[in-house]
Structure 1
Amino acid sequence: MNLIGHLAGIARHDRPRGPMQVLDRVKVNREEGLHGDFRGAIRPGKSGRRQVSLIEAESWEAALAELGVVVPWQERRANLLVTGLRLPREAGRIIAIGADLRIETTCECDPCSRMEEIAPGLKAALLPDWRGGVLGRVIQDGAIAVGDEVRIEQ
């Protein structure tokens, strides 16, 4: 199993159902997740378990191949696209991105019915083996950029 991958994409949206903005770099912190992303701010009384979402490029491509469609990765509405690395399939693991950012995995990012609006059958295609991605909370701030190394630390 490969323990080092790379950050292939960064995306955020400033409001629910808002358009995804693809970025080359972004600051990520414990207070707001990805700077400018509406979902990253931890609301009073909440745990922040959905602060950052990550998806494997390989899982996204496999789901699309099953359906025979081509859809840009950001339409999944994930924040970070990782390539060359299998993301953890359990809570409590630490994902390091770049020099400083650390994200603790909290749960699977279950695909929602919105995926059906993108392509019929996409929700079902993303269900097996955490293909829809993983959610996490920021435990150490950092600035990241496309091309940064991604590692599983524990």
Structure 2
Amino acid sequence: MKTVPLLFLFLMGVSPSVIAKANCQSYLNTLHNIQAKMRAGYSAAQGVKLAKKERNAYDKWWDCKRGKLKKKSSRKIAKEGNKKALSNARKRTITVQDNAFKPLTSNVTIKAKYPGIKQQAWLDFYQPKAECKSPSNLAIFAACLRDEQRQQRLFEQQ
């Protein structure tokens, strides 16, 4: 008689969440792998993709942990197998599309401060300071712009 209540208490102690924990380990591993990639560093575009993957992996793991993860039907599993085979085939085949190396269709227009011969005269007249060739901070850059404007006024007065 005493064994029945003990057995009942033992079965109550083994909750679905304990069982789900073992089943959800693969989802948790996937989440940890994505988080490790994020810690390793990434570009802006990769960051957006990784954040999306992390969110999806977290949601799947959390749903699994709560026992709310929908089980895949055999049809979906078969489709995923085909998708994996197709993606592997695509990885092996490298194709170059015809439009991958199109030349630029728009022209680039560079406007000068002055037209024609006057532009050459300005280039001969304007003498930038040595520090203005590669300014090290914003204050030097601003001083270089003021100097260029000052020299431009002097050039136009001639």
TM-score scaled by structure 2?
Answer: 0.20
The structure with the largest helix share of the pair is 2
The structure with the largest strand share of the pair is 1
